Structure 1
């Protein structure tokens, strides 16, 4: 049986959301495989001998593979076009004090509670509220360019999630393992849940998916 645990992360070092705490979680799980939210090029640069990683995930994993025998692979291989990325967060913040307050609350909770909060429904409920405000403000300002960027980034993330799951299934078909972890940004947690629920009904390969700290 292939068991895969998805750990949501926030990429930045904030209080209890740090490489040491992530390392402890990985060490507790003792995976034989780690799937990473990286493309091939970034993966090669991060794990070059003299490279110093700048994300908490890469720092934690690089430390972990020094101490344990574990395979790790990049799975975020969908082509990225920076023109598809949304650039209007500041404009939304300028028009919505609630938007700023929600982000400040999110950062505070992540700082104080770390991965327990990041891997919780409460975290994603906050992200949903933030997303609702983004859509509302974009409708109000009626900026066609920003609206297109927003939809392009949503489409990009959807394609990335599909690609990451495809790569994990492809690897799992060809390789035996007991436990793997997939470390991915928290904004992908809910969409991945939905995609996995749909995928397990269509895939012949039986993967036991779990989300870290999911109650």
Structure 2
């Protein structure tokens, strides 16, 4: 009971990161429930009749629902305000050749290895390097507005991650299941794994987490 797999994704169709590959993974896991990184409003729009989704997750799940009778729910329900988002990515791109190089490397690895890369320690380490450069460049720029936005967005993602896990645990209290899948963007992989440890200490119920591992 209460087996749940975290699968990290990229949202965009890129090389081996595509709906067909994702469909194979979901089919192999065989979940009876899928928790999605979507708000309630976006979820309603995406799964309305006639809507053509743009993310590989929604494309795949729509296809999966035609073949298999499963439940799926949006768990990314923390409200997002535009004022909490970072607007200085272009500034960092203009200021750091290494930053550009790492993002190009990231895209190439996603295209070449798909979900094997997205669910690897290599991917986590690359995101860590990118975050470090962002912090260093912002220190050099000494722009109070951008620094404030950067901290605000980090805080926003922290709240979103906690909200997603809280929603999963709350659902699990009321609805026992055998096998579930939580699909979430790869940038959230390390913090989600860390936060799961805190949620597990609280128990009620304890979930049997598997963190899908890719092989490069």
Question: What TM-score comes out, normalization by structure 1 length?
Answer: 0.98
Deviation at 1:83, TM superposition (A): 1.3
Residue in 1 that maps onto 2:209: 209
Deviation at 1:204, TM superposition (A): 2.6
When the two chains are superposed, the root-mean-square deviation of aligned CA atoms in Å is: 0.9
Residue in 1 that maps onto 2:139: 139
Residue range with higher mean Cα deviation, 83-92 or 133-142: 83-92
Deviation at 1:214, TM superposition (A): 6.3
Residue in 1 that maps onto 2:40: 40
Deviation at 1:176, TM superposition (A): 1.6
Distance 1:214 1:163 in 2: 26
Distance 1:203 1:29 in 2: 24
Residue in 2 that maps onto 1:7: 7
Does 1:112 find its partner at 2:122?
no
Residue in 2 that maps onto 1:153: 153
Report the secondary structure of 1:201's partner residue.
helix
Report the secondary structure of 2:73's partner residue.
strand
Distance 1:82 1:203 in 2: 34
Distance 1:210 1:194 in 2: 13
Deviation at 1:213, TM superposition (A): 1.1
Deviation at 1:209, TM superposition (A): 0.7
Deviation at 1:177, TM superposition (A): 1.0
User: Residues 118 and 214 of structure 2 are in contact (CA less than 8 Å); yes or no, is this contact kept in structure 1?
Assistant: no
Deviation at 1:206, TM superposition (A): 1.5
Distance 1:2 1:141 in 2: 48
Distance 1:87 1:212 in 2: 32
Distance 1:29 1:199 in 2: 23
Does 1:185 find its partner at 2:185?
yes
The Cα offsets for residues 28-70 of structure 1, whole Å up to 9 and x where unpaired, read as: 1110000000000000000001000010010011100111000
The Cα offsets for residues 85-134 of structure 1, whole Å up to 9 and x where unpaired, read as: 11111100111000000000000000000000000000010000000000
Distance 1:11 1:85 in 2: 19
Distance 1:88 1:13 in 2: 25
Query: Structure 1 stretches (4+) deviating beyond 2 angstroms?
Result: none
Residue in 1 that maps onto 2:176: 176
Distance 2:57 2:148 in 1: 31
User: Residues 16 and 110 of structure 2 are in contact (CA less than 8 Å); yes or no, is this contact kept in structure 1?
Assistant: yes
Question: Aligned pairs, how many?
Answer: 215
Unpaired runs of at least 5, structure 2:
none
Question: What TM-score comes out, normalization by structure 2 length?
Answer: 0.98
User: Residues 117 and 214 of structure 2 are in contact (CA less than 8 Å); yes or no, is this contact kept in structure 1?
Assistant: no
